[in-house]
Chains A and B, each alone.
Chain A
């Protein structure tokens, strides 16, 4: 009885040792040399694995960054400039500052402005509805409100559907500008824009490419492509193409002349103080709005 047990144990130990040696030799023979810096970079990344940088997760980003050494094109939107500065320091490179970005929803088609013409009760997915038909309203470009962007967001409520307006909205404090929602939106309504100084940004909140009349019938707050904003813009930041205006955020200085000019109120200015009073009260304006003083390059008054 005892001999059987001893024999078995001895055999197993011998087998174990034998395979351990083989495994060790194989591991030595086929060892993959990996740059240790990849691990360093990965450790400095936030580890959200969101794909916002365009790579398949943080590891892939680290590999690409170490391989190319290009801090210009490899940028982690989640970690932002802070994390990138640390990575640059760890790699002994010069850090490249990038303007932080945020997602904006370019649609304001709430039921009171964009009337529902029919009821959809099928599978709740924007992608499915977009493949089927124009949507519940007369506007075939607007937000479908079924939340493909919400499920794409990996930052806990960065995007949500407003229960009143049924339009997607972005929480600018939670949004890190990874772009997952913009990629998930089948209608391309969500855009990544520069956050702007003090989070102040101006954008056209509409993507309707129909002619003015058609847009107007479908939605009272849709861009009709009249071009008034483009004319009034002192920085040539606005272009009107396919019956819809677009503000180039690299040129926009946030003067908000277009906001006042837009006849349909399709242009949105976020986080700005109230507009200074118009001309007749111009003299009183600076006194009345002291909070508006740090507004970026306002009123060129030329």
Chain B
């Protein structure tokens, strides 16, 4: 049978899923934890605790401030020692709540037993409220508050839910492990979200390089007949929301449109697990699965990490920075962010810590564009990266950039990956895209 995939563009990087056979382990608690207030897309949360307050696991320590925002819960028990700015992984100062960890005392209403609670009693409104109060954000990387996605804007109707288990980024294996170890919880999480959306169809898109995850999900097919497992051909960036919708239900999200315009709501499998835990077990989003990997590391690990421990602590857990290690990346090699400050704290949507050697990270010398068109072929959004980068380089040709739909760029990096002249196309396009989006937003609405 021919496997499904998205139609336009895409590249095939070596998937290097080194940690796929490593079961999830609990990372030991740190002594001091730094909880960032900017863990989600949108306005940073407002701290509700002060220096000297004692907190328990699951207690709210920051409230959502604005429509697109999410609240934050304490992942640790202990005393708040400071509420102050700290450097994040890129060296920018962000407000953090600092907690001196003492013991591990949870709020009593959180169900910590391993039993699976299958009966969904909550009403759709209760589900959305619970998800909102649990501070759940999309764990696929963008960290968009989940409760907003579950409330389609007026006039739009959801028709199906697509769970994103593609994990198209090389190296990362956290979603793979979740799908294998928490299969039923994920499917229950999906059922809960389907109830909240009022839809009866669900899909789980999984790339073919995760046969064990596909088999595990299929073993529950009898119990959850409304959710179809869709194996997909391996191609990056299949995990992009718009690409996944194209792959699974063969619909294209219009330019400047929302995924809901196709009737689909996409959620990551990690988010589904968090939704299950929040709705059925009252557990807010305080931890997630992080892959610690890299070819130069002596061992690969998948950790269950509480939000707010540092990257250096995760690195210590696999034996510290290896001799050959030169670059740390939070996330995968395609879209991940380079870590400048290893003492920065992990966030809700942190999915991986990748260690690369100097050899692996070295940039090749840039040469001239020969107009081969490879970048245009690889662009999954059907843009012309060579043209965009040229317009961006000249500086200020924002009207032309807008005509060329620079705002559609999903910053996947396929153009840069495929360029035979090693031109850092995305690096050049990204600031121009930000500028164009800013100009477009500043225009008065008709």
Which residues from B are CB-within-8-Å of A127? 431
Q: In the bound complex, do residue B427 and residue A123 qualify as a contact, i.e. CB atoms below 8 Å apart?
A: yes
Q: In the bound complex, do residue A134 and residue B363 qualify as a contact, i.e. CB atoms below 8 Å apart?
A: no
Q: A122-B424, A123-B424, A133-B338 are known contacts. Are A140 and B91 too (CB-CB below 8 A)?
A: yes
Q: A117-B340, A134-B340 are known contacts. Are A122 and B91 too (CB-CB below 8 A)?
A: no
Q: In the bound complex, do residue B428 and residue A134 qualify as a contact, i.e. CB atoms below 8 Å apart?
A: no
Which residues from A are CB-within-8-Å of B87? 134
Shortest C-beta distance, A186 to chain B (Å), equals: 9
Bound-complex Cα distance A134 to B344 (A): 13
Bound-complex Cα distance A140 to B427 (A): 19
Q: In the bound complex, do residue B91 and residue A138 qualify as a contact, i.e. CB atoms below 8 Å apart?
A: yes
Q: Report the nearest B residue to A130, measured CB to CB.
A: B431
Which residues from B are CB-within-8-Å of A147? none
Bound-complex Cα distance A135 to B338 (A): 12
Bound-complex Cα distance A122 to B416 (A): 12
Q: Report the nearest A residue to B425, measured CB to CB.
A: A123
Is A173 an interface residue when CB atoms closer than 8 A count as contact?
no
Q: In the bound complex, do residue B92 and residue A131 qualify as a contact, i.e. CB atoms below 8 Å apart?
A: no
Q: In the bound complex, do residue A131 and residue B93 qualify as a contact, i.e. CB atoms below 8 Å apart?
A: no
Q: Report the nearest B residue to A133, measured CB to CB.
A: B90
Q: In the bound complex, do residue B434 and residue A134 qualify as a contact, i.e. CB atoms below 8 Å apart?
A: no
Q: In the bound complex, do residue A210 and residue B93 qualify as a contact, i.e. CB atoms below 8 Å apart?
A: yes
**How many residues on chain B are close to A (CB under 8 Å)?**
18
Interface size class of A (residues with CB under 8 A): 10 to 19
Q: A128-B431, A131-B434, A133-B340 are known contacts. Are A140 and B93 too (CB-CB below 8 A)?
A: yes
The listed residue (A122, A125, A132, A138) touching B90 by CB distance below 8 A is A132
Bound-complex Cα distance A106 to B109 (A): 55
Bound-complex Cα distance A140 to B431 (A): 17
Q: Report the nearest A residue to B339, measured CB to CB.
A: A118
Is A121 an interface residue when CB atoms closer than 8 A count as contact?
yes
Which residues from B are CB-within-8-Å of A117? 91, 340-341
Q: Report the nearest B residue to A134, measured CB to CB.
A: B91
Q: In the bound complex, do residue B91 and residue A128 qualify as a contact, i.e. CB atoms below 8 Å apart?
A: no
The listed residue (B90, B337, B361, B430) touching A134 by CB distance below 8 A is B90
Which residues from B are CB-within-8-Å of A128? 427-428, 430-431
Shortest C-beta distance, B165 to chain A (Å), equals: 30
Which residues from B are CB-within-8-Å of A133? 90-92, 337-338, 340
> Would you list 30 pairs from A and B whose C-beta atoms are within 8 A, ordered by A residue?
A117-B91, A117-B340, A118-B340, A121-B362, A122-B363, A122-B427, A123-B428, A125-B427, A125-B428, A127-B431, A128-B427, A128-B428, A128-B430, A131-B430, A131-B431, A132-B430, A133-B90, A133-B91, A133-B338, A133-B340, A134-B87, A134-B90, A134-B92, A134-B340, A135-B91, A138-B91, A140-B91, A140-B93, A210-B93, A214-B93
Given contacts A128-B428, A134-B87, A140-B91, list 9 more A-B pairs with CB under 8 A.
A117-B340, A123-B428, A131-B430, A131-B434, A132-B430, A133-B91, A134-B91, A134-B340, A140-B92
The 5 closest A-B CB pairs, nearest first, are: A134-B91, A133-B90, A123-B427, A123-B424, A131-B431
